[in-house]
Amino acid sequence: MKLGANYLGNNECEFTVWAPLLKEVAVEIVAPEKRLLPMEKDDLGYWKVREKNITPDTLYWYQLEGEKKRPDPASHFQPKGVHDPSQVIDHSTYTWQDQDWKNIPFPDWIIYELHVGTFTPEGTFEAIIARLPDLKELGVNVIEIMPVAQFPGARNWGYDGVYPYAVQNSYGGPNGLKKLVDACHQQGLAVILDVVYNHLGPEGNYVSDFGPYFTLTYNTPWGTAVNFDDAHSYGVRNFVIENAIYWLGEYHFDGLRLDAIHAIYDLGAKHILAELAEAVEVFSQQQERPLYLIAESDLNDVKVINPQELGGHGIQAQWSDDFHHCVHTLVTQESIGYYQDFGQCQQLAKVLQEGFAYTWNYSPSRRRYHGNYAGDRPPYQLVVCIQNHDQVGNRMLGERLSHLTSFDALKLAAATLLLSPFIPLLFMGEEYGEDAPFLYFIDHSDPNLIKAVREGRKAEFEEFHAEGEPPDADSIETFKKSTLNWQSRKEGKHKVLWEFYRELIRLRQEIPALTQREQYNSKISFLEDEKIISVYRWSADSEVIYLLNFNGKEVDYSLVIPSGNWQKRIDSSESQWQGSGSKLPQSLSQSQSLNLSPYTAVLYQKA
């Protein structure tokens, strides 16, 4: 089944919409000439009509009960926005050039998250293409695009989307997105899309006129929950599964990032995530290339990634927010909100050894026990970061890590990320210490909704004792301030940091002890008072030791190493990286005392 307007060629189109409780549904053609097409309903509540003389780019509504006119919930394009007619799209007109593309092995992924509207001054899909060689040179191999499902207005983070199948018109529409994905594949980059299945945005959200897409049984931070287990939930589940296959098929995405799955509620015998994973696996086999799902989750629950034969959902990977929170608190000393749960080297050492810091131990911010053990799953099943759109943009002033800590601490955080056994995610601009903030912005047309957003943001930050007023989310200036200063990556400390990231990525991809991410082949120790973590990692024929000094002062550390000839590969305190100057030897042959500069990362490899 294909929902929405499925163009069949030769000016023929089949329209399909789910509306199980309605008694009359019709397609109203708006342009090029007006006419009404009555639809027939099947036993599951799907209304269909196949019609000739429907050309690509035809505009249409659904007419409900002879009265309401509504855009298609599965619209493939909303050329004039969320309140206007949907448009028929002929997906066959785009000629793909990625026939030889087979995706990248998942354990090798290095993800780069970007927001289309602020990644370039133009704010379009096609404008990104010119920057792909720079990302390739950096060493990242996967681009994660923040949501592009049609949202109100021209600027938004994307999580207020209301047409999950429609490509945002202000970004360049369907063809613009296809050109970007195609270009990525031709340059050896995989692409994943951030999709939102836990809620829809408030403006232009008309799906409840069609059927019970929501349930009052649960609530999310963004309002009423999506109906995945209540009456008529079969149609909602199919809507989501078809949507996932649509993005992977029509747009050739290599995977999907599932937003906030902890706000997806389903007490049925088969969880929607498990059903989704099954469907994607079948489609992956049909396409003869691997396709992946990554769950953003703050549950610390290994059930998300466990295979279904072990009672899990079978999702390829999930986030470990604990990694971010550990690193962030160690380099910034922040302790407000959920950061109060972190700040110890012991916690970061635990994350590096088994994935989570909270594995059914007490969480002060939650005031309950939290998480379970993930150390028996491969490390590549966890995605980690030191910055992302949430952790930056949900701050009142949108401060990046470069605004909150020193240059030495930025390098230390980068090394902690890229030398870890997990899948790393970089947030656009992080790699060169972008100076522009990433602020929260919207472009709603409803004055009451804009007012509610402003008041909600203000109340949220008052709870965190933030001083001053949050930037106006509806102002275009707030949006413009968030645009990357891309040219700065070749200047001063920005250039040094960019080269440091590139070198870390190169080492991550070349040293066998670091490329081994199937198992936790590591021994980790820490000194809490000195704020030092020592990591020894190995594979069959390769060994490395790296030290992470989170202390703001010099520290003497007695390093115990296996016998052999150990050569220094990278040292963030060296002048090459604009450090204060290293006091560490180039080679080691036995255990010895080392003097570590403040906020230093150093890696030795056994020759």
**Which amino acids are annotated as binding site, given as ranges?**
257-262, 321-325, 389-394
Catalytic residue among 259, 266, 341, 431: 259
Q: How do strand 292-295 and strand 317-319 relate by DSSP bridges?
A: parallel
User: Within 61-153, where are the H helices?
Assistant: 116-119, 125-129, 132-138
Cα–Cα distance measured from residue 426 to residue 434, given in angstroms and rounded to the nearest whole number: 12
Cα angle: 281, vertex 286, 289; to 5 degrees: 75
Catalytic residue among 296, 474, 543, 571: 296
Cα–Cα distance measured from residue 82 to residue 205, given in angstroms and rounded to the nearest whole number: 8
Examine the residue annotation and report whether 14 is marked as an active-site residue of this protein.
no
Cα–Cα distance measured from residue 400 to residue 391, given in angstroms and rounded to the nearest whole number: 8
Cα–Cα distance measured from residue 479 to residue 151, given in angstroms and rounded to the nearest whole number: 15
Helix (H, G, I), strand (E, B) or coil at 223: strand
Examine the residue annotation and report whether 543 is marked as an active-site residue of this protein.
no
Helix (H, G, I), strand (E, B) or coil at 259: coil
Residue 64, number of CB atoms within 10 A of its CB: 20
Instruction: Report yes or no: 125 and 170 within 8 Å, Cβ to Cβ.
Output: no
What's the token pair of residue 224?
């009423």
Feature table: binding site for substrate: 257-262, 321-325, 389-394
Contacts of 387 (CB under 8 A, 6+ apart): 324, 400, 401, 426, 427, 430
Q: Is the dihedral of CA 103, 105, 110, 115 positive or negative?
A: positive
Bridge partners for 317 per DSSP: 294
Instruction: Report yes or no: 322 and 341 within 8 Å, Cβ to Cβ.
Output: no
Instruction: Report yes or no: 304 and 329 within 8 Å, Cβ to Cβ.
Output: no
Catalytic positions: 259, 296
